Every structure is written in C-alpha cells, then in structure tokens.
Structure 1
C-alpha cells in the first residue's frame, strides 16, 4: 500500500485462480477467457451483472446471469484511474463491458449493473468521480449503462472471498488492512492507515525494520544480522552513505527488503526472526479486533467459526510469515478458521451488483 491506504490491488489474488460458482470453461488455453454458458441456463433481459477488479497492471471482468452463473470473463490492461486518469480507465472498463456482452450474447442495455472494484477508490469522492467518468464515456460511445457502481478493490475482495457471507479478509502485501462483514451485512475495517501511520505487518513494515536492523549493526548498537550482507549483495548498500542516499534521495523501495527478511528468518537469523514475530503479532491484532466486533454484532449463539482468508503475496503464499501467522491465530483466536477465498474479487463485485438490481 505504498502511497496510501487505498493501494491494495497488488495484494489481491489472480481471479482465474479462484473458483466461480456455476462456471464451465469452453476449453483449456482459451486466450479470450471465454466460458461457455451453463446448459439449461435461461438468459433474461436486464438480468445480467458485470463485476470488475481493476488495478495498476490488469483488470479482470466477469458477467453473470440472474442465477449468479458466470457466463464469460475477460482480462485487459490497467484501470487505476489515480495513475492513468479517469478517461483511460473508462476506456478499459468500457471495452470489458463490450467483450463480456459479446461473449454472453447480450447487449449492454440488458446489463442491470456494472460494479467496478478499483485500486484507489477507497473514498466516496473518488468513487463518484470514476463512476461518473465511466457513464460519460459510455454515453459518448452510445453505450447504455443502466447502473454503475465503483467500490474499493478490497471491498469486492471481501465479497468474493466468502461469496457474500460473513467473514474476514486480512490483506498483507506492500501495505496491510483487514475487512470484516458481520451477519447483518455491516462491513468493518481495521488498519489501512498507510505506511506513515500504520501498515503493521506489511512488506513496508518488514522492510523498514530490516533496514533498521542493518543500521543498528553498522553503528554497533545492535546484534549482527545476515541482513547486512544480504542488503549489500543485492542492492550494494553496505554503509551509512549508500543506505541514506538510497532511502532518502533515490526513492528506494523499502518493501523490496521484505523478502530478504523472510529469507533470513527462515535461516534462523535472530534479528530477522524477531521482526517476523513482531509482524505476526501485529497482523493477529487486526484479526482479533475484527473477530470481536463481528462476534458481538452477530447472533449471540454462534456455533460455526468465522472464516478468515489471507490475501496478498506476504501471506497468501506459503512463507515463514504465513505459517507462523496461521499457527498464532489458531492458538489465540479460536473463533476464526483460516480458509482459501471461495471466489475472485471480480465475482465479488458481481455479487454486489446482483444485490443492487
């Protein structure tokens, strides 16, 4: 989440890697990403919804029928309007609408809602600006879009992870944030304050503490750590001058040091391992806080565990951090159960659209 709390796109899983309910692919290796319609499904006018998940590198879209069955999906380039601008983002989103409708053999006027979960769309003002931009772009192209909703990419990830049911997602990549949805449908948030005020347990957090461990060793204030040699080997940062110049003058990617910290921790480096333990404690606190809110605000006699999904390269993949985190949560927060996301963020966006029809 470098640059602020809204940047979560890079933390999310790839849509195609996740299950979509009712999906039947037309064949492996289909470059267009087409999915043949489920046999017997009846297409009805105004009963389609398109969900999109867009960020700085790509935008994934799905179109579903009134049953929530995915009729088709497509992927195009970036749609982070905070970087490429509203018009260029609208061009990508509009083209995805066209492709989805073409594959599903329907017209855009038969799409009841288009829901876009986008990087940088965490604030209402930005959501409105992008939604109005897409509507205006579509109108200029003589495309009828009945309803356009723009949400944050984290919000649609929450919907997709549990197919609209209650649960918690913990996101940890460059930045960190957690979202939870209770039985009443209320969404709660913990973290996401950005690297200056928060992002505990994130890649930036690990990288910063890793750099600090190196500076302490170089000063003679701290213990020896393998990170010092690793930093010098990978980046050529081996003394006070080179480190200060890189961090303060050359816009050094602090989060890029996180993999070095994880590698050193895996090799039993005491300083690196302590940093990972600290990250585990901080991320666990995110989950604990949300689980308490959701438990209190849900039914009193909750028998089943609250599902929790990890999202983001640091914890969605198998690393020393994800392993330690899962173990720590299992022991300290028995009310939750770590599970894999059920569906993609794009499908989560489509689910939100189905509720707004």
Structure 2
C-alpha cells in the first residue's frame, strides 16, 4: 500500500547582504538567468539577465542543457560587468529533472563548470509552490510542455501531467500548435478554403502550401519548438473571435483544468477560492487562455484566484534570499 510522502525543503543560512546569487529557469525551448545582489530584509537588486536555448536535459541531453545554462549565466554576468567575479549561490530550476538520476547527472556537470560556490538543481515546478509555505497552492505551467503541481498545508506535493509530447503536454504551446497545424495541413491537402487562423499560420511559417509546411517540419532542429511557435498565432486569432482557434484554446483550457482537478483531488485542497500560480510562455502570450481556463475550472466547481508569474526567475530569487534549497524532497506517488 502506498503511503503519503512529505515534501521537505531545507533552510540553509540566508545569504549575506552583498552576496551574488544566480536564479536560472530552464525549459524545453529557452533558459533564463537573473544575476542579483542580495539586499537587506529579503530583498535583491538585479544586476544582469541572460537568455539561452533549451536546457531540459530530457530533450537536449545533459551536456547541451549544462551548456545552455552556462551560456545564460555568462550573458547575465557580462551584462552586469562581472565576467570574472565569482557568484556565491546558484539555484537552477530546470524542466525534466524530476527523475533523480537525470538531476544528479546535471548537478555533476554544472559543478564542473563552477558557476557558483554553492549550487542546487531542482525541478522547475518547485519554486512556483514554495513562495508561501503557509497556504495551499496549485501551479500550472504551460510553455512548450505543460504540467500541474500542488502543495497542501502538510507539505505534501502532487504532480499531474508532465508526460511529454508523446503522451501528454495537453494545453501546452506544443499541443495548441499541433492541433492548429493539423487542421491547416488537412485544409491545404483537401483544397478547402483556409480559415483566418490557418492563413495566419501559413504566414508565420512562410509557407504557401502543404509541401512547404512539411519541409519546415523536416528541416526543423526541434519540431516541438516549431509547433510551439504556432501557439501565439492560435491565441491571437482566438482573441479575434476566430471559431477554429477558439475551439482549440477551449480544448487546451479544459485539459489544463483537468490537471488542476487531479492535483486538487490528490491533495484534497479547498476549491473556493483556489490559489493557482500560472507560468510559462503560453500564459504570457495574453489573457485569453487564462479566461478560458477560468471558465473550465468554474464548470468543475473550482473558483480560481490566479497569480501570474511573468518572470520565472522571480520565485527562484525568493527561495535564494530566504536560504531555501531542495533537499531530499519527496512527491506523492
């Protein structure tokens, strides 16, 4: 019989005022680093930021992930004029590191790069639910992929989704783009007049016919990234009352609402209201998806109170200045 396992979060000594800290958020498409100086009373001052390519080790491999993280860090240090100055602490919240062997392999590779005196690697989900440990919270990420996570008052953590593109990623940029591109290809191959959404997708991909789109797919280094690129087109045309786009977004919102419902059921979280942190590029592309998600949640009897995260490194910085690190945490099976 499975037993409940409690999430643990170790509290180390908070950093001293003036220490340099690195907050890195890495996903299947991009990596962002914020270099900051610790201030008094849990504050910080941003000195530089850096962006690089994908750092999900399950997508690009451990070496490529470490290289992208290092590149983002070096860009942030260069912007701050601190290229050769040592950083004291680094917290790397990276997608695809729930699996312990992958997380350990990435930790070892980053340690070799000596990006900071003290380093910690954790799944990118954790910072989203750790900024307020006194209240229940659910977080939804919709970027290239999608996943939901929640934490109850006892510190139990449950995850729903995060299955990857073959089995899941419903409601993600990849999923929205995939459905829209399938419809576009069907219309092109059957000679059906294109809808406004399908015309906009052809313009985005600079493709006039099905052969051109399939060529783009064949030549793409990362097809997931290419499909995720289509998602903002879907959202923008949905906001213009385009029926095909609205139907795709509504389906994606329903899938994301199901992730919330799964987490809520596992942890027995209260439903009214429910604090839901939303993060990821698809939520940042406009409020249409969030509005559709609210409608789907309310149909399930859940009253959401959304907390949007525009910069994914912000909750990581909060953990750093409080001296919080992941340490032997466990998730409900």
TM-score by structure 1 length?
A: 0.66
Q: 2:184 aligns with which of 211, 214, 232?
A: 214
Q: Following the alignment from structure 1 to structure 2, what is the Cα–Cα distance between the partners of residues 320 and 356?
A: 34
1:125 equivalent in structure 2: 101
CA apart distance, 1:135: 4.5
Q: Is 1:194 the counterpart of 2:164 in the alignment? A: yes
Q: Is 1:48 the counterpart of 2:15 in the alignment? A: yes
1:154 equivalent in structure 2: 125
1:324 equivalent in structure 2: 292
CA apart distance, 1:75: 3.3
Question: Does the Cα contact within 8 Å between 1:159 and 1:352 map onto a contact in 2?
Answer: no
Question: Does the Cα contact within 8 Å between 1:262 and 1:319 map onto a contact in 2?
Answer: no
CA apart distance, 1:345: 2.4
1:307 equivalent in structure 2: 275
Distance 1:171 1:95, change over 3 A: closer
CA apart distance, 1:285: 0.6
TM-score by structure 2 length?
A: 0.70
Gaps of 5+ in 1: 1-44
More helix by share: 1
* Within-5 A mapping of 1:41-120: 47-48=14-15, 50=21, 52-55=23-26, 56-62=30-36, 69-77=42-50, 80=55, 82=62, 84=64, 86=66, 89=69, 115-120=91-96
CA apart distance, 1:267: 2.7
Q: Following the alignment from structure 1 to structure 2, what is the Cα–Cα distance between the partners of residues 164 and 96?
A: 33
Q: Following the alignment from structure 2 to structure 1, what is the Cα–Cα distance between the partners of residues 75 and 242?
A: 50
CA apart distance, 1:314: 1.7
Q: Following the alignment from structure 1 to structure 2, what is the Cα–Cα distance between the partners of residues 240 and 94?
A: 41
| Partner secondary structure for residue 185 of structure 1 | coil
Distance 1:352 1:149, change over 3 A: farther
Q: Following the alignment from structure 2 to structure 1, what is the Cα–Cα distance between the partners of residues 194 and 138?
A: 38
CA apart distance, 1:73: 4.1
1:30 equivalent in structure 2: none
How many residues get paired? 292
Gaps of 5+ in 2: 1-11, 328-333
Cα RMSD, aligned residues only = 4.0
CA apart distance, 1:128: 2.1
Q: Following the alignment from structure 1 to structure 2, what is the Cα–Cα distance between the partners of residues 206 and 128?
A: 32
CA apart distance, 1:120: 4.6
